[in-house]
Amino acid sequence: MSITKIGEEGSCDYYNKNADWGCSHGGVAYIQNNQDERYNDKIGAEEANITDAFNSRFIFDVQHFFHETNEGYYDQDHMIQSRLKIFANGERFGSYRTPKNVGQDTHLPDGSINPEYDGELKVTVECDDECNCVAAKMSQCDITAKFSFPDPNVEGSPESIHTASLSAEKEGETGICQKSNDKTNWGCAHSGTTAYYHSSSYYDEVIDIQESLTITDAYGTDYVLSVEEFLTGWEGFYYEVVPGELDVQVNGRTIELFHFANGTKNVDLSCDFRCECTATEVDN
């Protein structure tokens, strides 16, 4: 188990038993239920104590530690679930188990770790100024932003030539997620190119009309999504202005659709620790 406090550096866990932000850690969580009766069964627990949790947010991260020799010897040990209990001033307000892994052993027949085994549990805790605390299990919180123009190959599409660029920045982090930097260290990946080519003089088709950004683990984070359109200068004379569409999704579900034409547009994207996200267009 490892605990981090939002806005503070350093985790509280086995490797850092006393965090500067007021957390102490002790113990090791394990179970030893031997088939050979000559050996004694053992069980251990770990715990952490946090002082002055007022107006604070924390992430509790429980992860399975793989052991090829021991786990390879037992056929059903992958069915064991650990439990995380969370208390505030002695009163329990949260109890969670690690995932069930029915049919997914910890290791493959060749002894390597099974990538399908899910041994992680994440829980967020928020406490107010009176130490009223709430906990919520963290599951998936992925953001997808897609920007595209209409398909110019559809009959009746207006003649125009547009290209655009989609990018994202994360508050408190360096590095812009964009075509020239398609993977960031804060969990964003970029793909594709946005373009609209339809001109009887120059283009008669387009290969790629969409680009996208995917951001993982967006809990409790603020972002700025930017779309910059590059026009030819002939709009209004020869070419028409064709608006593009920005589709902002959370875990595959669209939360907002924006339509942009001309210039640079920004969208503020904010997600809380329950992965409830809002997207708002910003006036430039």
* Model pTM score: 0.62
The 3-class SS string of the chain reads: CEEEECCCCCCEECCECEECCCEEEEEEEEEECCCCCCCCCEEEEEEEEECCCCCEEEEEEEECCCCHHHHHHCCCHHHCCCEEEEEECCEEEEEEECCCCCCCCCECCCCCECCCCCCEEEEEEEECCCCCEEEEEECCCCEEEEEECCCCCCCCCCCEEEEEEEEEEECCCCCCEECCECECCCCEEEEEEEEEEEECCCECCCCCCEEEEEECCCCCEEEEEEEEEECCCCECCCECCCCEEEEEEECCEEEEEEEECCCEEEEEEEECCCCCEEEEEECC
What integer pLDDT is reported at residue 181 of this predicted model?
93
Last residue of a domain, one of 99, 123, 138: 138
Domain shared by 108 and 165, yes or no: no
Same domain, 168 and 50: no
Tell me, yes or no, whether 221 and 252 share the same domain: yes
Please identify, among 117, 138, 159, the residue that sits at the C-terminal boundary of a domain: 138
**Residue 225: CATH number of its domain:** 2.60.60
Percent of the chain with pLDDT over 70: 85
Place 240 in a pLDDT band, splitting at 50, 70 and 90.
confident
Do 90 and 63 sit in the same domain of this protein? yes
155 and 86 part of one domain: no
Same domain, 7 and 91: yes
Q: Verify that 8 and 65 share a domain, yes or no.
A: yes
Mean of the per-residue pLDDT values for the chain? 83
* pLDDT grade for 98, boundaries at 50, 70 and 90: confident
Q: How many domains, in total, are found in the chain?
A: 2
Residues 131 and 150 placed together within one structural domain of the fold: no
Specify whether 16 is located in the same domain as 115. yes
Domain range for 178: 143-282
Q: Is the pLDDT of residue 57 over 80?
A: yes
